[in-house]
């Protein structure tokens, strides 16, 4: 299972996304959901592989982030 952990400006966890069977599904979901997350104060997201208990990557949501 894969999912996103939401981070605020300080890097603190402020929520989590639904879980997805495949990383590609999670990436598609964030592709359409990031504007609402940014508007609600989420500054970055981290894609997590729950089964392997590891972080795949972090991505900023604001302008100039990445």
Confirm whether 65 is domain-assigned. Answer: no
- Has residue 65 got a pLDDT over 70? no
Predicted pLDDT at 44: 97
Does residue 47 lie within any of the structural domains?
Answer: yes
Does the pTM surpass 0.85? The reply is yes
SS3 29: helix
Residue 62's pLDDT band (cuts 50, 70, 90): confident
Per-residue pLDDT tens over the stretch 11-49:
999 999 999 999 999 999 999 999 999 999 999 999 999
Position 35 in a domain:
yes
Residue 46, H or E segment: strand 44-49
Are 44 and 59 spatial neighbours (Cβ–Cβ below 8 Å)? yes
pLDDT at residue 64, as a whole number: 62
Range of the domain at 55: 2-60
- Tell me whether residue 16 is in a domain: yes
Q: Is residue 32 part of a domain?
A: yes
User: What's the domain count of the chain?
Assistant: 1
Say if CB 59 and CB 42 are below 8 A apart: no
Question: Cα(20)–Cα(13) distance, rounded to whole angstroms?
Answer: 19
- Please indicate, yes or no, if residue 66 is contained in any of the structural domains: no
Beta-carbon count within 10 A of 57 CB: 9
- Assess if residue 20 is contained within a domain: yes
């Amino acid at each position: 299972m894969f999912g996103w952990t939401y981070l605020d400006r300080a890097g603190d966890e402020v929520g989590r996304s639904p879980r997805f069977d495949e990383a590609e599904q999670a990436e598609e979901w964030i592709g359409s959901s990031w504007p609402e997350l940014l508007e609600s104060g989420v500054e970055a997201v981290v894609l997590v592989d729950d089964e392997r208990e590891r972080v795949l990557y972090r991505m900023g949501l604001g302008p100039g982030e990445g």
